[in-house]
Amino acid sequence: MSDTPAPARLSFRHWVEDRAEAAIFRAILALPYRRRIPAMGWFSRTILGPLAMNRRIKANLAYIFPDMPKAQVKQICRDVADNFGRSLIELHSGAEFARFVATQPLGGPGLAALDRAHAEGRPVILASAHYGNYDVLRAGLTARGFRVGGLYRPLSNPAANKRYVATIESIATPLFPRGNEGLGAMIRFVKSGGMLGFLGDQHMAHGEMLDFLGKPAASATSAAKMALKYNALLVPLYATRNPDGLTFTVEVEEPIPHSDALTMTQAVNDSVSAKVRAHPGQWFWVHRRWRHTA
């Protein structure tokens, strides 16, 4: 959490950028839900991907899969950008997205453990990744009646951040900003028996070097430490986008047994790695997960 920068002051540039972004989103949101999602996917893979994503995706793929054929690399670049665009407009669809997700079935061998924890008032740490659309998890579990909280990283643009927070709060609440501001409320929520979502697949400057997709990666152990400290379940879960581009398969895995923070975090890394290997186009390869890449 100490990696979170202090919020910036609102500048004229921030205001202009926010108004431009808001105008673009208003235009796309004017489309019916089932048309706007593929439309934003097309825009992202055709325009945003080549301009801003593909270089980083290719560098990460070359580091992890040096022998991957060029045709497969090209397809993954397209798939990652497409999924990013779809996820972005789904998030900005707010309550409409939440209502759609509420119709998606939940499954997996760990779902019964979540039901028991909810009935017993036992805390749960939900471990996921920038994969598929992770906000499906918050919305879907909330629709099932669970108390689900999430962490978010405030945007550097204060105007955009205000709009962003209002949108994601319309999907499900509570939400806690990363850093000292949200720490106390987050801990109280967990101790009260809530379910808290973590996305632990980004580079953490002060993390532990653990294996991720076969390479050492600085990994946050905070989810495992919270599970141990508050006797919470640590449960990996994912929302995989289906071939139709609109619906999802939500799978809740078995809870990770309590041991020590390093062992449990490695188990989370292994779980995420398995999902990425199975569906490489659904993980956000744009992050600098390994600082060795260009």
Could you count the other beta carbons within 10 Å of the beta carbon of residue 105? Answer: 9
Residue with tokens 């707010």: 94
Q: Domain segments of the chain: what residues?
A: 12-282
The rounded distance, in Å, linking the Cα atoms of 137 and 105 is 11
Average pLDDT, the chain: 93
Q: In the structure, what pLDDT confidence band is assigned to residue 151 with cuts at 50, 70 and 90?
A: confident
What sign for the dihedral angle of Cα 271, 274, 280, 285?
positive
The pLDDT value given to residue 293 = 56
pLDDT at residue 251 greater than cutoff 50 = yes
Of all residues in the chain, what percent are helix, strand and coil, respectively (each to 5)? 50, 15, 35
Q: At residue 6, does pLDDT exceed 60?
A: no
User: How does DSSP classify residue 126?
Assistant: E
Helices vs strands, H then E, count in the chain: 11, 9
- Confidence band for 4, pLDDT divided at 50, 70 and 90: very low
In 10 A of CB 112, how many CB atoms? 11
- Bridge-based pairing of strands 233-241 and 195-199 is unpaired
pLDDT band of residue 7 (cuts 50, 70, 90) is low
How high is the pLDDT of residue 56?
97
Confidence (pLDDT) at 269: 98
Pairing of strands 195-199, 148-152: parallel
Percent of the chain with pLDDT over 70: 96
Q: How many CB atoms lie within 10 A of CB 52?
A: 13
- Residue 8's pLDDT is 64
Q: Where are the alpha helices (DSSP H) in the chain?
A: 12-29, 33-43, 54-64, 70-92, 95-101, 111-120, 135-143, 158-169, 180-191, 222-229, 261-278
Q: Taking residues 68-95, what's their average pLDDT?
A: 97
pLDDT-derived band at 161 (thresholds 50, 70, 90) equals confident
Q: Are 86 and 117 in contact (CB under 8 A)?
A: no
Asked if the bond preceding 50 is cis, omega within 30° of 0, the reply is no
pLDDT at 154: 86
N-terminal to C-terminal alpha carbon distance within the chain: 25
Q: Are the C-beta atoms of 100 and 136 separated by less than 8 Å?
A: no
**Token pair of 269, please?**
């890394």
Instruction: Flag whether pLDDT at 2 surpasses 50.
Output: no
CATH placement of domain 12-282:
3.40.1130
The more confidently predicted of residues 281 and 9 is: 281
Q: Are 53 and 81 in contact (CB under 8 A)?
A: yes
Residue 254 pLDDT > 80, yes or no? yes
Q: Is pLDDT at 294 greater than 90 in this prediction?
A: no
**Residue 3 confidence (pLDDT):** 46
Mean pLDDT of 215-220: 96
Model confidence at 16, pLDDT cuts 50, 70, 90, reads confident
pTM > 0.75: yes or no: yes
Phi first, then psi: what are they for 196, rounded to 5°?
Answer: -115, 125
C-alpha span between 55 and 58 (Å, rounded) = 5
Mean pLDDT, residues 261-273: 98
pLDDT average, residue stretch 81-92: 96
CA–CA dist 92, 254 (Å, integer): 31
Query: Looking at residue 57, what is its pLDDT?
Result: 98
